[in-house]
Structure 1
Amino acid sequence: MSLWIPFTLMAAFMQSWRNAFQKRLSTDVDTMGVTLSRFILAVPMAAIYAFLLFKQGDTPIPHLGFNFYIIITLAAISQIFATAFMVKLFRLRNYALGVGLAKSEAVIAAVLGALLFAAPLSPIAWGGVIVGGVAVWLMSVPKGMRNISWPTLLLGLASGLCFALTTLWVREASLMTGLPFLQSASYVLFWVLLVQTLALLFWLLVRSPDTLRALWLRPKLVFIISFCSFVGSIGWFTAMSLETVALVKTLGQVEIFFTLLISAKWFKERLRGSDKVGLGLVLIGALLVILA
């Protein structure tokens, strides 16, 4: 089995739980605060993880140019917007729909990767991406466009676009380091999380200090969200240092399976018959990208 596959599955599982805990936090904390909870405690975790990997592998810290840090900043800011859009989705519709619409990122990443990032796909891989995209749409909008508002649809596509750009820039940054894949992923992860945390802390200190106090009063939930985000990000960043973003994200759509289970068991949200068909298509799409 290619190493990117278990890393992707780990990422999808942890991300589904992170999103669930973020939805719970969003009932008491505003959008930017929920977004910060994803990053703030993950920074020291990422620093320790990178330090241990570099020390164990006796790997020197790379000296990278200005372009690397520009790409890191773009990825960090894009992911902040992606997460904020998804948190807003949680408030507009149910949890499963919000995550499902944000999963449009796989198709968007495939198109942008082929056009702008020199990452073409084979016909089989394109088949997997398209089948996965149809599955996401089927589960997100089972009764057609008349049953979904334009704000919900646009927020979902905006979240998917920002997540797609984030992952494409993360892969670009990982390839620039010239490091072994584990060290490369950990190094990029640390810098992305650091930029995100500093940017959001500055914003909230200036604009909404009450939000920081709200997070301070919920340390257990913030820790759980940061931990799930950290472990999930290890999976995503490592997988994307090994394989094309579109393939990683298409396989990562198995997150929807975990999401639907959490949605039904924890949030008591009703699942539909179309979800079974959609899950079958997700599985077919995943198998196609594995074969590719």
Structure 2
Amino acid sequence: MTEGWLWALFTVIAAAAQTARNAMQRELTATLGTAGATHVRFLFGFPFALIAVAAIAIVSGQKLPVPNAAFWPWVILGAASQILATGLMLAAMGERSFVVTIAYTKTEPIQVALFGLIFLGEHITPLLAAAILIATAGVMVMSFKPGASGTRDWKPAALGLASGAMFAFSAIGFRGAIRALDGQFFMVSSFTLAVGLALQAGALTLYLMWRERAILTAILQSWRPSMFAGFMGALASTFWFLAFALATAAAVRTLALVEVLFAQGVSLFVFGQKASARDVMGISLIVIGVVLLLWAT
């Protein structure tokens, strides 16, 4: 496989790993709360990110990148936005089903395309724009539930859409940080991930020590499932960052909508939530959008 198609492979692997991590975090929310379950992906993911950087350095013989002045604002934006995005996503999962929550957060590609154009100068071709709109329309079809009304129905929508916006800022921030570094794409992407996780784990640990120390104790007591969630989070993030090093944020996050398909599988086989005709229609639109995306790139 040529480097030109590697980003697509990396994205699909990342989406599958992220689905597993999201499912595990959803379960951890019941015992650790939103803040605790959010912290798990960063605290337990950081050691795996360090191992990845060390392995790449040993195997390739490359030196670690030297962060420059442009790197830090981007990586801080990415890290802070991802913390907020994850917390909002888990809060939304407490209000609605797993697959619907994931669908709400996946309104992200349109926002990524806009932010990428504004902040990174990454232009969108007409075919790529069509792919983004069709795939996002599929997500909206899956999200809309006829006959739903009331505050409780607006709350998960607001939380999910806000989460999608924060994930969009996170994607732009991390891609900007990767582009600011010099070096081979495996090293610069893995190094950026390790720095981002260090910032996130440190910030959330300090916050929990200040406000909710009992949660830190609960996290350590739940170390077995937390370790798995951290590993899957680090695995997903590693491949997201590799994809960001090779393709625009808009292309990566649009192809990432395959996560909705994976989430539908988890919803059906793990949580026992059946797919409706509307879900099938939405999935079909997502598939069409993904095919157009791959054709456009």
TM (normalized to structure 1)? Answer: 0.96
Q: What is the RMSD computed on CA atoms of the aligned residues?
A: 1.4
For residues 215 and 209 of structure 1, what CA distance do their matches in structure 2 show?
A: 10
1:151: Cα distance to partner? 2.0
Partner of 2:166: 162
Partner of 1:185: 189
Please state if 1:250 is matched with 2:254: yes
For residues 56 and 98 of structure 1, what CA distance do their matches in structure 2 show?
A: 40
For residues 133 and 105 of structure 1, what CA distance do their matches in structure 2 show?
A: 8
1:144: Cα distance to partner? 7.3
1:164: Cα distance to partner? 0.5
1:70: Cα distance to partner? 2.1
Partner of 1:227: 231
Contact map agreement 2:64 2:187 (CA 8 A) in 1: no
Please state if 1:47 is matched with 2:37: no
For residues 220 and 81 of structure 1, what CA distance do their matches in structure 2 show?
A: 24
Query: Partner letter of residue 126 of structure 1?
Result: A
For residues 72 and 258 of structure 2, what CA distance do their matches in structure 1 show?
A: 32
Contact map agreement 2:36 2:219 (CA 8 A) in 1: yes
For residues 158 and 7 of structure 2, what CA distance do their matches in structure 1 show?
A: 31
For residues 139 and 125 of structure 2, what CA distance do their matches in structure 1 show?
A: 21
Distance 1:196 1:101, change over 3 A: same
For residues 40 and 212 of structure 1, what CA distance do their matches in structure 2 show?
A: 10
For residues 196 and 147 of structure 2, what CA distance do their matches in structure 1 show?
A: 37
For residues 156 and 141 of structure 1, what CA distance do their matches in structure 2 show?
A: 13
- Name structure 2 gaps, 5 residues minimum: none
Partner of 2:132: 129
Deviations 1:15-45 (A, max 9, x none): 1111111111111111110001111121111
Structure 1 window deviating more from structure 2 (64-73 vs 93-102): it is 64-73
- Name structure 1 gaps, 5 residues minimum: none
Q: How many residues align?
A: 292
Partner of 2:276: 272
For residues 102 and 157 of structure 2, what CA distance do their matches in structure 1 show?
A: 12
1:235: Cα distance to partner? 1.1
Please state if 1:76 is matched with 2:89: no
- State the secondary structure of the residue aligned to 1:237: helix
Distance 1:58 1:144, change over 3 A: farther
- State the secondary structure of the residue aligned to 1:143: coil
Q: Identity of counterpart residues, as a percentage? A: 29
1:111-122 equivalences in 2 (<5 Å): 111-122=114-125
Please state if 1:56 is matched with 2:62: no
Partner of 1:195: 199
